[in-house]
């Protein structure tokens, strides 16, 4: 499972491995107002935007009720552990069977990949929260899910930072208005400038290209 937004779509247009991972994903949810509106105008029946930062907490609440276990993979050092502690504090019955921050460049290190897969195999989570950033998380899941064999894998990026509490969510009215991107940009302008002010033009070019075909 993964979430589609402008950033993911632009990266997929440039990255064949990411594009392949999206094509083989069992469920993709639309996490962005611009692509949602484009899809709706083209007759694709998508009812609403679904963000990972809303979806994942709901999944964790469901996991607590149903007795499913969760493994948190990704985030900077200490972040997945903070996310785990906050989740367990909010959902005392939730089984978090692992929390791990991979080393930088893990995707190119066979020993680190083997270590991650071994942890997952031993922990046997029902749900893997892969918070490794795009495109690393999507490509990791596509290339390794048959090894670690978690029933459900969710590529959910920065959600780990929201769960850990070190990044504040936008107010609900901001999200409903479709300007959560602006709120996030004002919080992290250096990191998000390219995504919102350069890649967005590439997305528009993609839309025009598809319309012309």
Say what the alpha-carbon torsion angle 55, 60, 61, 64 is, to the nearest 10 degrees: 160
- Report whether 138 contacts 11 (CB < 8 A): no
Tell me the per-residue pLDDT of 20-36, one tens digit each, with 9 for 90 and over.
999 999 999 998 888 88
Provide the β-strand partners of residue 141: none
Distance between CA atoms of residues 55 and 164, nearest Å: 15
Tell me the per-residue pLDDT of 36-53, one tens digit each, with 9 for 90 and over.
888 888 888 888 889 898
Tell me the per-residue pLDDT of 152-203, one tens digit each, with 9 for 90 and over.
999 999 999 999 998 777 777 777 776 776 777 777 777 777 777 777 777 7
């Amino acid at each position: 499972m993964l979430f589609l937004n402008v950033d993911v779509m632009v990266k997929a247009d440039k990255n064949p491995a990411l594009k392949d991972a999206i094509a083989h994903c069992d469920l993709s949810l639309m996490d962005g107002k611009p692509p949602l509106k484009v899809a709706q105008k083209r007759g694709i029946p998508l009812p609403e935007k679904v963000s990972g930062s809303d979806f994942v907490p709901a999944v964790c609440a469901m996991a607590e009720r149903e007795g499913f276990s969760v493994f948190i993979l990704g985030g900077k050092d200490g972040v997945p552990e903070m996310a785990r502690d906050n989740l367990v504090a909010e959902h005392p019955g939730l089984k978090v069977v692992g929390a791990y921050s991979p080393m930088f460049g893990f995707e190119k290190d066979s020993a680190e990949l083997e270590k991650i897969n071994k942890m997952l195999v031993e922990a046997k989570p029902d749900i893997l929260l892969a918070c490794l950033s795009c495109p690393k998380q999507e490509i990791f899941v596509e290339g390794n899910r048959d090894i670690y064999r978690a029933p459900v894998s969710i590529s959910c990026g920065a959600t780990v930072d929201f769960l850990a509490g070190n990044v504040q969510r936008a107010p609900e009215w901001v999200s409903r208005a479709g300007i959560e991107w602006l709120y996030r940009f004002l919080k992290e302008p250096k990191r998000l400038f390219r995504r919102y002010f350069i890649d967005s033009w590439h997305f528009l070019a993609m839309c025009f290209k598809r319309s012309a075909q």
